[in-house]
Amino acid sequence: MEKKNKCCFCQKNIVGGFKDIDLKYAGYLFSVFKSGLECSECVKKKFIKLFKEFGEDLIIKNDSGININWHLFTEIEKQARQGTYRGDQFIAMKRILISLGILSVRSEGNYEIVESVGIRLNPSTLAVSLYFTQEKDAILYMQYKYRNSQFSFEIRKIGKVIPSHKIF
Protein backbone atom coordinates (compact mmCIF):
# COMPACT_ATOMS: atom_id res chain seq x y z
CA MET A 1 0.00 0.00 0.00
CA GLU A 2 1.45 3.34 -1.04
CA LYS A 3 1.72 5.77 1.85
CA LYS A 4 0.01 9.12 1.35
CA ASN A 5 1.50 10.71 4.44
CA LYS A 6 3.41 13.95 4.17
CA CYS A 7 7.16 14.04 4.77
CA CYS A 8 8.15 14.60 8.43
CA PHE A 9 10.83 17.11 7.43
CA CYS A 10 9.43 19.34 4.69
CA GLN A 11 5.74 18.74 5.55
CA LYS A 12 5.12 19.11 1.84
CA ASN A 13 5.94 16.09 -0.32
CA ILE A 14 4.24 12.70 -0.14
CA VAL A 15 6.52 10.25 1.62
CA GLY A 16 6.09 7.00 -0.32
CA GLY A 17 7.46 3.69 0.95
CA PHE A 18 10.94 2.87 2.16
CA LYS A 19 13.47 2.04 -0.52
CA ASP A 20 17.00 2.69 -1.71
CA ILE A 21 17.30 5.74 -3.95
CA ASP A 22 20.12 6.49 -6.38
CA LEU A 23 21.94 9.75 -5.89
CA LYS A 24 24.69 11.15 -8.10
CA TYR A 25 26.82 13.68 -6.32
CA ALA A 26 30.43 14.93 -6.64
CA GLY A 27 31.14 12.30 -9.27
CA TYR A 28 30.00 9.40 -7.09
CA LEU A 29 26.94 7.21 -7.33
CA PHE A 30 25.32 6.53 -3.97
CA SER A 31 22.48 4.22 -3.11
CA VAL A 32 20.84 5.91 -0.13
CA PHE A 33 18.27 4.31 2.14
CA LYS A 34 15.00 6.19 2.42
CA SER A 35 12.74 5.42 5.37
CA GLY A 36 8.96 5.63 5.34
CA LEU A 37 9.02 8.96 7.19
CA GLU A 38 10.84 11.24 4.79
CA CYS A 39 10.54 12.09 1.09
CA SER A 40 13.24 11.42 -1.53
CA GLU A 41 14.08 15.12 -1.84
CA CYS A 42 14.75 15.49 1.89
CA VAL A 43 16.79 12.27 1.98
CA LYS A 44 18.98 13.52 -0.87
CA LYS A 45 19.44 16.95 0.72
CA LYS A 46 20.35 15.48 4.08
CA PHE A 47 22.73 12.95 2.56
CA ILE A 48 24.60 15.63 0.59
CA LYS A 49 24.97 17.69 3.79
CA LEU A 50 26.28 14.59 5.58
CA PHE A 51 28.70 13.85 2.75
CA LYS A 52 30.03 17.42 2.66
CA GLU A 53 30.70 17.29 6.38
CA PHE A 54 32.07 13.76 6.78
CA GLY A 55 32.64 12.21 3.37
CA GLU A 56 35.11 14.42 1.57
CA ASP A 57 38.11 13.42 3.68
CA LEU A 58 37.03 9.80 3.75
CA ILE A 59 37.26 9.21 0.02
CA ILE A 60 40.36 9.55 -2.09
CA LYS A 61 39.46 9.71 -5.74
CA ASN A 62 42.12 9.05 -8.33
CA ASP A 63 42.58 7.52 -11.76
CA SER A 64 42.28 3.98 -10.45
CA GLY A 65 38.85 4.71 -8.99
CA ILE A 66 37.69 5.22 -5.45
CA ASN A 67 40.01 4.62 -2.52
CA ILE A 68 38.90 4.87 1.07
CA ASN A 69 40.94 6.67 3.69
CA TRP A 70 40.98 3.68 6.07
CA HIS A 71 43.54 5.44 8.22
CA LEU A 72 41.01 8.16 9.02
CA PHE A 73 38.16 5.65 9.39
CA THR A 74 40.04 3.50 11.92
CA GLU A 75 41.19 6.57 13.89
CA ILE A 76 37.62 7.83 14.19
CA GLU A 77 36.41 4.32 15.05
CA LYS A 78 38.96 4.14 17.87
CA GLN A 79 37.88 7.52 19.24
CA ALA A 80 34.20 6.63 18.95
CA ARG A 81 34.76 3.40 20.88
CA GLN A 82 36.59 5.17 23.68
CA GLY A 83 33.62 7.44 24.38
CA THR A 84 30.95 9.40 22.66
CA TYR A 85 33.53 11.68 21.04
CA ARG A 86 33.34 11.40 17.25
CA GLY A 87 30.39 9.02 17.54
CA ASP A 88 28.36 11.01 15.03
CA GLN A 89 31.25 11.13 12.61
CA PHE A 90 31.76 7.37 12.82
CA ILE A 91 28.07 6.69 12.18
CA ALA A 92 28.14 9.09 9.22
CA MET A 93 31.22 7.45 7.73
CA LYS A 94 29.68 3.98 7.93
CA ARG A 95 26.52 5.30 6.29
CA ILE A 96 28.55 6.84 3.46
CA LEU A 97 30.51 3.62 2.90
CA ILE A 98 27.31 1.55 2.83
CA SER A 99 25.80 3.99 0.32
CA LEU A 100 28.88 3.66 -1.87
CA GLY A 101 28.75 -0.15 -1.73
CA ILE A 102 32.11 -0.43 0.09
CA LEU A 103 30.51 -1.88 3.21
CA SER A 104 27.37 -3.99 3.23
CA VAL A 105 24.93 -5.44 5.74
CA ARG A 106 24.73 -8.51 3.48
CA SER A 107 27.23 -11.25 4.17
CA GLU A 108 26.97 -13.51 1.13
CA GLY A 109 29.78 -12.95 -1.34
CA ASN A 110 31.43 -10.42 0.96
CA TYR A 111 34.36 -10.46 3.37
CA GLU A 112 34.48 -10.85 7.13
CA ILE A 113 37.43 -10.70 9.50
CA VAL A 114 37.53 -13.32 12.20
CA GLU A 115 39.83 -13.54 15.18
CA SER A 116 41.18 -17.00 16.08
CA VAL A 117 38.38 -17.95 18.49
CA GLY A 118 35.71 -16.74 16.09
CA ILE A 119 35.10 -13.17 17.24
CA ARG A 120 34.18 -11.00 14.28
CA LEU A 121 36.33 -7.90 13.87
CA ASN A 122 34.37 -6.18 11.12
CA PRO A 123 33.05 -2.70 11.76
CA SER A 124 29.49 -2.87 13.02
CA THR A 125 26.51 -0.62 13.25
CA LEU A 126 24.38 -1.10 16.36
CA ALA A 127 24.59 -4.88 16.70
CA VAL A 128 24.80 -5.53 12.97
CA SER A 129 28.14 -6.49 11.43
CA LEU A 130 29.15 -4.74 8.25
CA TYR A 131 30.93 -6.78 5.60
CA PHE A 132 33.52 -5.59 3.12
CA THR A 133 32.52 -5.97 -0.50
CA GLN A 134 36.16 -5.94 -1.65
CA GLU A 135 39.15 -7.86 -0.37
CA LYS A 136 41.52 -4.88 -0.64
CA ASP A 137 39.40 -2.81 1.71
CA ALA A 138 39.27 -5.56 4.34
CA ILE A 139 43.06 -5.85 4.18
CA LEU A 140 43.67 -2.11 4.43
CA TYR A 141 41.20 -1.80 7.30
CA MET A 142 43.08 -4.41 9.31
CA GLN A 143 46.47 -2.94 8.44
CA TYR A 144 45.46 0.43 9.85
CA LYS A 145 43.37 -0.83 12.74
CA TYR A 146 45.88 -3.29 14.16
CA ARG A 147 49.18 -1.73 13.21
CA ASN A 148 52.12 -3.45 14.87
CA SER A 149 49.86 -6.00 16.44
CA GLN A 150 50.87 -9.64 16.64
CA PHE A 151 47.59 -11.44 17.12
CA SER A 152 46.29 -13.67 14.39
CA PHE A 153 43.10 -13.32 12.43
CA GLU A 154 41.70 -14.37 9.09
CA ILE A 155 39.87 -12.55 6.34
CA ARG A 156 37.20 -14.87 4.95
CA LYS A 157 35.02 -14.58 1.91
CA ILE A 158 31.52 -15.82 2.66
CA GLY A 159 30.47 -18.07 -0.16
CA LYS A 160 26.98 -19.20 0.66
CA VAL A 161 24.40 -18.17 3.22
CA ILE A 162 21.31 -20.28 3.87
CA PRO A 163 18.62 -18.37 5.76
CA SER A 164 16.44 -20.20 8.28
CA HIS A 165 13.28 -19.74 6.20
CA LYS A 166 14.85 -22.04 3.60
CA ILE A 167 15.43 -24.70 6.27
CA PHE A 168 12.19 -24.75 8.24
Q: Is 10 in the site for Zn ion (CB under 5 A)?
A: yes
The nearer residue to Zn ion, 10 or 158, going by C-beta atoms, is 10
Q: Is 7 in the site for Zn ion (CB under 5 A)?
A: yes
Contact 47, 69 (CB under 8 A): no
The nearer residue to Zn ion, 34 or 94, going by C-beta atoms, is 34
Contacts of 36 (CB under 8 A, 6+ apart): 3, 15, 16, 17, 18
Contacts of 151 (CB under 8 A, 6+ apart): 115, 116
Residue 40 CB, shortest distance to Zn ion, in Å, is: 8
Q: Which of the ranges 24-32, 42-50, 80-88, 124-132 carries the binding residues for Zn ion, by CB under 5 A?
A: 42-50
Q: Is 153 in the site for Zn ion (CB under 5 A)?
A: no
At CA 15, angle to CA 40 and CA 87, rounded to 5? 60
Q: How many CB atoms lie within 10 A of CB 157?
A: 13
Q: Which of 42, 50, 80, 98 binds Zn ion (CB under 5 A)?
A: 42
**Positions that interact with Zn ion (CB under 5 A):** 7, 9-10, 13, 39, 42
